[in-house]
């Protein structure tokens, strides 16, 4: 394992796009090919991070975001939107594997759980990709694969402003209802209040996790990124991950429907209707196992489909949604599409 030390590179993280470019760069950079990597970082200011497929217009309270000068970025991995600020600690692993159908989150969080247990927090992995304590979430993990390089990462809420998180994030009501909660704030918790050691900081947590990583990886080595490598990361941020097209997508559509599937995630569909046929179809949601090829194929398959329930369900079924999401998912989404168009026409 190679630990990439970011402790002296904090100035680079003043741009909230840099962390997203950093992860993609490290997955692709040939000098790291075949190596298992680990690094930590923390935001330098408040930021909303969207999942790869999420519709920004249905996830974010834009007036609040702008009024409070909160950054907005989109990561390459899937999953849901999160709010982070300097009270957050993010961990990222990158390793080599062939096509991963079921992300192995449990393997990569062992040192984190061990570190938290050492300070008296009996944390657990729950659901598909959450870490919780006393029934409340303090970490959401993400997964992404680029060729044979896989990324596992997650945020750790050490001392994050949960009031701001609740105000700026607007998850779907179906997702909140499934979890039996009324707001983001009622579902999440910080770690700091539960740590009994006086003066224990976010940096102390990072050091403790790294100590447990070293136990599992006694041959771990450390290095920093060079000036040239940081220049390449910043170039990637400017050319793709910091662009309006990447963060905001192609814009609002006339229609948007979504459904939440327990322990799988939200699936959203944006579309327009022309001559009673679907147009400008865009796949959204916080799915972590859907890849871009699958999303592109489904968008292509649905574009031009007549707004006829049986035809829509057949297309959704043939795309594998009943397997990817849940049995009868195709029927539920087809119903919602027809209902949305019918209600709009009336």
Q: What is the Cα Rg of the chain in Å?
A: 21
Query: Which two three-digit tokens encode residue 160?
Result: 């994050």
Which residue, 115, 154, 118, 117, is CA-closest to 138?
Answer: 154
Length of the chain: 346
CA dist 338 and 343 (Å) reads: 9
The pLDDT of residue 90: 97
- Identify the three-state secondary structure at position 79: coil
Q: For residue 150, what are the β-bridge partners?
A: 95, 145
The pLDDT of residue 345: 63
Q: What is the tens place of the pLDDT at every residue in 102-141?
A: 888 889 999 999 999 999 999 999 887 899 999 999 998 8
Query: Which two three-digit tokens encode residue 331?
Result: 């029927």
CB-based contact 50:56 (threshold 8 Å): yes
| Dihedrals phi, psi of 116, to nearest 5 degrees | -65, -40
What are the mean pLDDT values of the chain's consecutive 10-residue runs (346 residues total)?
96 96 97 97 96 90 95 91 96 92 88 96 90 94 92 96 95 52 66 95 98 96 98 95 88 85 85 94 81 86 94 92 90 95 76
CA dist 202 and 307 (Å) reads: 52
The pLDDT of residue 241: 94
Cα-based torsion angle of the residue sequence 158, 159, 162, 165 in order, rounded to the nearest 10 degrees: -70
Q: Residue with structure tokens 């192995």? A: 104
CB-based contact 238:265 (threshold 8 Å): no
This prediction has a pTM of 0.81
The pLDDT of residue 129: 85
Sign of the dihedral defined by the CA atoms of residues 205, 206, 207, 208, in that order? positive
The pLDDT of residue 178: 47
The pLDDT of residue 186: 59
- Identify the three-state secondary structure at position 141: strand
Q: How many CB atoms lie within 10 A of CB 315?
A: 17
The pLDDT of residue 336: 94
CA dist 284 and 250 (Å) reads: 12
Query: Which two three-digit tokens encode residue 25?
Result: 């760069």
CB-based contact 152:288 (threshold 8 Å): no
Alpha helices in the chain (DSSP H): 18-28, 62-67, 105-108, 110-118, 162-168, 173-178, 202-216, 227-236, 244-248, 292-302, 309-318, 321-324, 329-345
Query: Which two three-digit tokens encode residue 172?
Result: 């779907």
Q: How many CB atoms lie within 10 A of CB 239?
A: 11
Instruction: Provide the phi-psi class of 112: left if phi over 0, else alpha when psi is between -120 and 50, else beta.
Output: alpha
| Dihedrals phi, psi of 55, to nearest 5 degrees | -85, 110
The pLDDT of residue 182: 45
- Identify the three-state secondary structure at position 199: coil
47-50 and 71-74 strand pairing: parallel
CB-based contact 317:330 (threshold 8 Å): yes
Angle at 290 between CA 285 and CA 294, to 5 degrees: 110
The pLDDT of residue 172: 60
The pLDDT of residue 118: 96
Q: How many CB atoms lie within 10 A of CB 244?
A: 7
């Amino acid at each position: 394992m190679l630990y990439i030390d970011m402790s002296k590179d904090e100035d680079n993280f003043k741009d909230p796009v840099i962390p997203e470019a950093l992860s993609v760069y490290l997955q692709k950079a040939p000098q790291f090919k075949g190596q298992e990597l680990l690094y930590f970082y923390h935001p330098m200011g408040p930021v909303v991070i969207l999942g790869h497929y999420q519709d920004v217009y249905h996830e974010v309270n834009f007036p609040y975001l702008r009024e409070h000068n909160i950054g907005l970025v989109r990561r390459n991995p899937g999953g849901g939107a999160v709010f982070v600020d300097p009270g957050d600690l993010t961990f990222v692993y990158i390793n080599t594997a062939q096509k991963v159908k079921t992300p192995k989150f449990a393997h990569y969080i062992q040192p984190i759980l061990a570190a938290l247990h050492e300070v008296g927090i009996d944390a657990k992995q729950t659901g598909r990709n959450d870490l919780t304590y006393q029934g409340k979430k303090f970490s959401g993990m993400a997964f992404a694969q680029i060729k044979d390089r896989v990324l596992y990462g997650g945020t750790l809420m050490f001392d994050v402003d949960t009031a701001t998180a609740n105000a700026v994030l607007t998850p779907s009501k179906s997702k909140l209802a499934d979890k039996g909660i009324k707001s983001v704030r009622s579902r999440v918790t910080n770690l700091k209040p539960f740590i009994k050691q006086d003066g224990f900081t976010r940096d102390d947590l990072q050091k403790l996790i790294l100590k447990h990583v070293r136990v599992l990886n006694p041959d771990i080595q450390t290095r920093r990124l060079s000036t040239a490598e940081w220049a390449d990361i910043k170039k990637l941020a400017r050319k793709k991950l910091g662009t309006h097209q990447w963060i905001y997508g192609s814009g609002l559509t006339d229609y948007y429907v979504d459904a939440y599937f327990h322990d799988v995630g939200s699936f959203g569909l944006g579309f327009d209707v022309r001559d009673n046929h679907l147009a400008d179809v865009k796949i959204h949601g916080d799915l972590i196992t859907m890849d871009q090829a699958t999303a592109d194929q489904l968008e292509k398959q649905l574009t031009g489909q007549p707004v006829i329930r049986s035809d829509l369900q057949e297309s959704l079924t043939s795309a594998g949604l009943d397997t990817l999401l849940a049995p009868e998912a195709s029927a539920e989404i087809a119903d919602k599409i027809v209902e949305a168009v019918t209600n709009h026409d009336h």
